[in-house]
Structure 1
């Protein structure tokens, strides 16, 4: 593909770290040489790609009425992060500065689950219609994942049908849990049937843990709890057989899968422990090989996880073709590198070369979202 150079423009958005980002991973060097860390050769960084080529599958939006409603209902922070401002113009400025060709937008936690009944269904319809309107005004810059009025399953099925079949959104965003009920629970089965019938791409985003269900630590949820909640949901989806029953659904796990890659062996050995004797008869009993296969089928995004440690862990459980780029903007604004060559994730170049980065940041996302791919490439 031909990569276009950045437009020369000034913007208040942060500049990136990064000129010549990454190369062979230190861990790989140690494995190959057997040398202790103090003697290992220094990491050689590969050059970073240039141009506006990235396709962002973990990017959030807050339409005006939705953001106003969040604040009205006391959601002044999301996962401990102050609820940010958002506008299409700011999003395009961010993308232009950081070499992002297009974003697939989604609503973050708490979705519309802080509302109920007609208020929730109306707000979901408002957000999804707002996103579809962006396709008309900025057809090559935005895609979107539909928010659903969960945990109302009948209303969520109706909104799924409207969002995917009528509005032609690119997929659906689901939170890891609703009112403490995690994905994988039988109550969500009718919705999964509808999603599977459509071969839907489903972005799984963590939800905040209720205060009475987590330790009292002086840390915001987005630092650690979000990753743990993604792990809980993914594990339950596998052990209840959801990911086996609905192979038509492609699930993207936020933030490099939380801790799923790191815990993959531990999760897989459940069938070799006393748990195997206690396993409910109505559920498929997981095997080590099957669990490893299910873990490998998830898609993992790089949002707030574009480090050699995180990516090496993901590559240990799946192929590079299951890694997609994510910025987590605007929630990640304060964490973006501030110097260098406008590379939002310079750590990726410590494990991927230029062609591999283009695969992860451009080709892999577009393979999953054909409508957006047609718009971008048309």
Structure 2
């Protein structure tokens, strides 16, 4: 990456540093929903889900042919421990039709284009973004798209951001939780955050695979646990590093119900008022309980692999249902979604039918006006 600040103790918020700190501290058109009040959780009861093809999928991936071929050529036979799947527009539409999904906001998953370097990474980002935009023309009411950026070089990433949003008219951006061990709250990403804020951009934060030397050796694939932890680290450092305070117009969506962030919300808020505050990174603002609560409330949370009451009620305890969006995590969830019907029936254990329309459709379209305009 070019034009980076030096990796000092004051500027680098790294995986290893965070892990060490934690260890130390631990010493509707087609919709016909019933007329149900949308006030609170449908406590311990399951209501019939709305019917029709109405869902907007905000956590869903695509692997254009050249991108997938390049992944395999560079040894990425699995993503987060899951075999690298096949993908095509036709298979995506078949999936959507079987599960009542009207449109998908496509994004690439981990590792983004970061398995490449220099010009190759920039060219692959342009290829993926152009491929997504071409789908708008071929299937205007079925696909949206989030731009992938070549994050190893921030000036190049800024140029791709401008092209993707101004020329290709993509709906937002996908960022990984960390790049080269530095999380999104790191100062090296400040120019990008400034540009995203100026555009009031919608940004989907997707977890990245953890380097082997920064995680315990467990016989489990990363997507089961480590992905959720990395989402939590990114969100925490966006708060602790002051990014959210400086750039309030960026709309951040956290994958998988925010990982473990809802559970840790209070703990994170009191951290700066405990002995941990004495070793807080120099030059980094110490968040107060109120600051943390406000920022956690303002995140968007998706339901991908997290529709159960244990996850959704945790989100509602710290967030708001107007900022929960539907996500299928397809095609990486393909082995669990092989039939048809309601893709996440567990949502009805927490939400009314009216709330489900809000979460599975209306919240997404409010945030993606280009996609909303073609679906009206």
Partner of 1:133, secondary structure, is helix
Structure 2 distance, partners of 1:74, 1:203, is 26
Counterpart in the other structure of 2:36? none
Aligned pairs, how many?
Answer: 342
Please tell me whether the aligned partners of residues 63 and 130 of structure 1 are also in contact (alpha carbons under 8 angstroms). yes
Is structure 2 residue 320 aligned with structure 1 residue 313?
Answer: no
Alignment map for 1:213-362 (pairs within 5 Å): 213-280=214-281, 282-336=283-337, 338=339, 342-362=341-361
Q: Distance in 2 between matches of 1:193 and 1:73?
A: 33
Separation (CA, whole Å) in 1 of partners of 2:319 and 2:153: 33
Please name the residue that 1:363 is paired with: 362
What CA distance in whole angstroms lies between the structure 1 residues aligned with 2:45 and 2:365? 29
**8 A Cα contact 1:70 1:76, kept in partner:** yes
Aligned mates of 1:69, 1:279 — CA distance in 2: 41
Q: Give the SS at the match of 1:262.
A: helix
Q: Where do residues 19-30 of structure 1 align in structure 2 (5 Å cutoff)? A: none
Q: CA deviation at 1:151?
A: 2.0
Displacement after TM superposition at 1:25 (Å): 6.7
Greater CA deviation, 293-302 or 264-273?
264-273
Partner of 1:60: 61
What is the DSSP-based 3-state SS (H/G/I as helix, E as strand, rest coil) of the residue aligned with 2:330? coil
State how far apart, in whole Å, the 1-side matches of 2:76 and 2:282 are.
Answer: 42
2:92 matched residue in structure 1: 91
Secondary structure of the corresponding residue to residue 101 of structure 1: strand
Counterpart in the other structure of 1:16: none
Displacement of 1:212: 1.7
Per the alignment, residue 375 of structure 1 pairs with 374
- Specify the alignment match of 2:108 in structure 1: 107
Matched, 1:3 2:30: yes
TM-score, normalising length: structure 1: 0.88
Unaligned runs of 5+ in 1: 6-23, 29-42
Q: Relative to structure 1, is the Cα distance of residues 211 and 299 closer, same or farther in structure 2, using a 3 angstrom cutoff?
A: same
Q: Per-residue displacement from partner, 1:93-135 (whole Å, max 9, x unpaired)?
A: 0001100000000000000000000000000000000000000
Return the alpha-carbon distance in structure 1 between the equivalents of residues 167 and 363 of structure 2. Answer: 25
- Please say if residues 228 and 258 of structure 1, whose CA atoms lie closer than 8 Å, have aligned partners that are also in contact: yes
Tell me how far apart the structure 2 counterparts of residues 233 and 151 of structure 1 sit (CA, whole Å). 17
Partner of 1:187: 188
The Cα shift of 1:337 comes to: 6.8
Conserved 8 A contact 2:45-2:348? no
C-alpha separation in 1, matches of 2:41 and 2:31: 29
Shift of 1:278: 3.5
1:117 matched to 2:144? The reply is: no
Cα deviation for residue 376 of structure 1 reads 1.1
Aligned mates of 2:152, 2:110 — CA distance in 1: 13
User: What SS is found at the alignment partner of 1:111?
Assistant: coil
Q: Any conservation in 1 of the 2:55–2:361 contact (CA below 8 Å)?
A: yes
Does the CA-based 8 Å contact 1:56-1:102 persist in structure 2? yes
Q: Is the 8 A contact 2:31 2:50 kept in 1?
A: no
TM-score by length of 2: 0.89
Q: Offset of 1:316 from its aligned partner?
A: 0.3
Listed one character per residue, the Cα deviations across residues 179-235 of structure 1 (whole Å, up to 9, x for unaligned) are: 111110000001111111111000000000011211111100000000000001100
**1:129 and 1:153, CA in 2 relative to 1: closer, same or farther beyond 3 A?**
same
* Contact in 1 for aligned 2:305/2:328 (Cα 8 Å): yes
* Cα drift, residue 140 of structure 1: 0.6
Distance 1:233 1:193 in 2: 17
Q: Secondary structure at the match of 1:261?
A: helix
Give the match's secondary structure for 2:335: helix
Query: 1: distance between equivalents of 2:113 and 2:201?
Result: 20
- Aligned partners of 1:337 and 1:344 also within 8 Å: no
Give RMSD over aligned pairs: 1.5
